[in-house]
Structure 1
């Protein structure tokens, strides 16, 4: 009797379970199948490789290598503290800090542990044997700079998230970064990849290569000279630029202090500044050749003309101008060679303020050169209405205006290029009128014969 009752109960339970399974199969089966399928399909992002930056000869200045970045899934960690301790040991991290980070993000489904790890570190993580649904690697690209500090401010850096910061890296970020792709992976319950779903892959688009006009040999020589200047004279900063007068190509551009783009976190605060385009000074005597050239072009002075330089002292309105030596009669070329302030002031009187103002603007002062780099300054040429009689003597001596080193170099390149002002550029393959060997001529400032 008891055996029969027990058998009946077992049969009843079996029938109930069978009925429930049948109900799930017929009413909820398709939905449960879709949920299970979604849980097993993972969308993987395929990062695009950032483009290289090379010099005019193809020497690589910046490139990218594949590397692993390690993450955990905090909400799936079975023993968060133990996992943090193991990972900290494998990746040379502070175990307490890592444990606190994981605890803070305990409900999240993703948390970076360490990015761009070495192959040895990746091997140590694998050797831990942690459950595969708790952690993983993602492929990323790490920027490397094979030439070290060479042209650091020109190149810039790419940050931990692959965004260009400063220099070419920032100015051409959209073209360098490329675009990510994606694909669908089929995983089991432990997170192991079973297959890549056919037809699901959308390939990544890799970034473009940007070729600079910079010549690495000239760049390294320029930087070596700057280092010698810094060591010998101990200035706060220094810079150098080398231009091709005929094409406007920047062959070298260097600044000190500088930084190591492989370790931007160690850069001094003033090491990021590209002083060739950002620092502004009164050009002083370097401005004098442009004024003489403009005066000759305007017919206000003659090549063989001689000026009385007043034995080194001359009263101009309410002030007295001085030369370093007691010069008497000087020709135009001698005024430049000896850098006579008095001779230049007398040329300024011939030109008058309107023509002096025109000269400054014609040679490119008071506006950006348009070089393909961020943070270029305008310099300063005040509106003509703000000039005074004092300006007539000061402007020819390179005072009352300010200019970047690149503006001054561009003005001298104009003199060396038969009076043709060519906008400087640092990129060969760009959309800014400097591609395919074209020469962006802005204006004929003075005649070639001048």
Structure 2
């Protein structure tokens, strides 16, 4: 044994080394592991049995989702079942911005796949990085093939979902009636808005489990099945609608007019068979530009009706008993005082009977008729025909018009009202009033739904008087009338022209609105039609901007087709037979004249 010497010279003995206890250490380690195992078991019991519901709820909150099941909007058809608005399945790309924000490479790939600027998409994702859902910009409701092409790139955090998009096969020809839906398939204008609740249906709801990438891995439960929207059958006839739109467009191009409208009603039911307006728009591609073109001018625009009011003024006089169809009026010298102004005719028509007042559209004649009527009586009569109030069609944004009460009339108001100035109406209101004349004096509420007529009518005028007025209106389209260009071969046509000056700055400018309102066929009126052409070019002078020159032929072209399409039998067979005979005789003369020339040519060609 060695001794260590210290500085003090004394030696220190070393301590004995402790003996290594292997068994004790093993027991200590084993006990620690046993305690850990017990702790794990206790924790497992706590998680699986004691607090199972709590932790299951937490897990579900992370991965269990309630997602909507998209449903299609109801189809809109015309009266013959032809589709006017349908919903087509499309795809909408969406992404998890939290996942994208941490993956610049994925953003770059998505930008390239979608043709979006990288800086724009990066900024767009960054602004939403605290959310779990966003639609990929400009890629909602896209072609499913395009969506699948992008999804095939398997960009992290990018997915798609099924939605539906509205499609309008007839485009701008029917856009003002149908309107359109927004990005969420909610009606915004027209019939789409008026019947939105009926059309839109109820989306379904289901529980699904998503993985951490947002992908659906399991469908857990169907909470509510999707209910598709109900279909809607309109009163519109697609063929007549397109015909009216085409002829209106042709007229505006030929006359240089700013706008126009055509309204066609079924006289007996009030069903709107066609309602065309220009300018129009394509409701398949709606943008925020040119919103002025979205409005349905036939129900929203207020216009002074001009001479289309004259048959109603005459009807008021006949009802009051102050005139008869043969009462004569001296309209010389072609004008009559109206306060500080004059009421003038196109020329001096001399002495006219009541029928002649309508035939020649005499302002002086109706002014003399209305003088015989009390103010309140004339006011009440016009209001019975719906002026000054909405037609009740239910179309969104319909204007009721303006019609001052007698208390607000000046000394000239009643006289100007008699020929259509001093009140404002819509083209639909004119068509409705004329339909009442053709329907035995019964006023019917217009409807855009096939079979939507309630059956209730308001007797606005005695049937005998209504028949007298329609008979007078027939002379307007016959030789000597102001609308011979509205005549239709084989049919008697009753109507009235109108050429109203446009108000401007408290007065009236040298700008006009050309009207023609009519009924056909006269014996049993089927259609009530109003044609309005706004602000035609007046450079031609004369009457080339008037209703008889511009609107009457438009009426004739549309009605000639509509009568044929609806199989309405002619009520003027004699004229039709005479015209056919004349045409056949003309062809025979042409063939006879061509025969000698053909024979001579054959002889010259013989060897």
Pair 1:315 & 2:333 matched: no
Residue 71 (structure 1) aligned to one of 94, 107, 110: 94
1:164 & 1:383 partners in 2: Cα distance?
37
Whole-angstrom CA distance in 2 between matches of 1:221 and 1:9 = 100
Partner of 2:45: 26
1:129 aligned partner: 154
| TM-score normalised by the chain length of structure 1 | 0.92
Which one of the candidate residues 181, 192, 198 is aligned to 1:169?
A: 192
Counterpart residue number, 1:336:
358
SS of residue paired to 1:117: coil
CA distance in 1, matches of 2:22, 2:170: 88
Find the aligned partners of 1:195 and 1:236 in 2 and give their Cα distance.
59
Q: 1:220-258 CA deviation, whole Å, 9 max, x = no partner?
A: 001101111221222221111111111101000011111
Q: Which has the higher Rg, Structure 1 or Structure 2?
A: 2
In structure 2, the residue matched to 1:449 is: 464
Please tell me whether residue 57 in structure 1 is matched to residue 80 in structure 2.
yes
Deviation at 1:35, TM superposition (A): 2.6
Question: What SS is found at the alignment partner of 1:264?
Answer: coil
Q: Which of 393, 398, 401 in structure 2 is aligned with 1:376?
A: 398
* In structure 2, distance between residues paired with 1:8 and 1:229: 107
The reply on whether 1:305 has 2:320 as its aligned counterpart is: no
- Secondary structure of 2:392's counterpart equals coil
User: Residue 443 of structure 2 is aligned with which of 421, 429, 435?
Assistant: 421
How much does 1:423 deviate? 1.1
Pick the aligned partner of 2:65 from 29, 42, 58: 42
Partner of 2:394: helix, strand, or coil?
A: coil
Partner of 1:364: 386
Figure out how many residues of one structure are paired with residues of the other and give that number.
Answer: 440
Matches within 5 A, 1:224-243: 224-243=246-265
Query: Does the 8 Å CA contact 1:288/1:397 hold for their aligned counterparts?
Result: yes
Deviations 1:28-73 (A, max 9, x none): 3313344334433221211221111111011110010111111111
| Residue 120 (1) aligns with residue 150 (2) | no
1:286 aligned residue:
308
Say yes or no: does 1:327 pair with 2:349.
yes
Conserved? CA contact 1:356–1:395, under 8 Å = no
TM-score by length of 2: 0.69
Asked if structure 2 preserves the Cα contact closer than 8 Å seen for 1:259 and 1:267, the reply is no
Residues 323 and 109 of structure 1: CA distance in aligned 2, closer, same or farther (over 3 Å): same
| 2:415 equivalent in structure 1 | 393
Asked whether 1:440 is paired with 2:440, we answer no
| Cα distance in structure 1, aligned partners of 2:263 and 2:351 | 36
SS in 2 for 1:116: coil
Q: Per-residue displacement from partner, 1:293-350 (whole Å, max 9, x unpaired)?
A: 1211221111111111122133355443321111211011111111111111000101
Which deviates the most, 60-69 or 314-323?
A: 314-323
Q: Distance in 2 between matches of 1:83 and 1:18?
A: 44
Q: Which runs of 5+ in 2 are unaligned?
A: 1-19, 466-607
Q: Distance in 2 between matches of 1:237 and 1:4?
A: 106
Partner of 1:157: 180
* Match among 278, 286, 289 for residue 264 of structure 1: 286
Shift of 1:122: 1.7
The corresponding residue for 1:96 is 119
Native 8 Å contact 1:391 1:400 kept in 2: yes
What is the root-mean-square deviation in Å for CA atoms of aligned residues?
2.2
Q: Which whole-Å CA distance do the structure 2 matches of 1:312 and 1:189 have between them?
A: 88
Change (3 A) 1:13 1:98: farther
What is the alpha-carbon distance in structure 1 between the residues aligned to residue 108 and residue 365 of structure 2?
78
Deviations 1:414-445 (A, max 9, x none): 1111111111111136xxxx26xx4331x111
Residues 236 and 10 (structure 1), Cα distance of their counterparts in 2 relative to 1, 3 Å cut? farther
Q: In structure 2, what is the Cα distance between the partners aligned to 1:257 and 1:13?
A: 88
1:277 aligned residue: 299
Cα separation, 1, equivalents of 2:99 and 2:425: 60
Structure 1 residues not aligned, in runs of 5+: none
Matched with 1:203 is 225
Structure with more relative contact order (C-alpha pairs < 8 Å, separation 6 or more): 1
Change (3 A) 1:82 1:417: same
- Give SS of 1:196's match: strand
Given that residues 183 and 201 in structure 1 are in contact (C-alpha distance below 8 angstroms), is that contact kept between their aligned partners in structure 2? yes
Q: Is the Cα–Cα contact under 8 Å of residues 284 and 397 in structure 1 kept in the other structure?
A: yes
The CA deviation at 1:115 is: 0.7
For the Cα contact (< 8 Å) 2:151–2:159, is it kept in 1? Answer: no
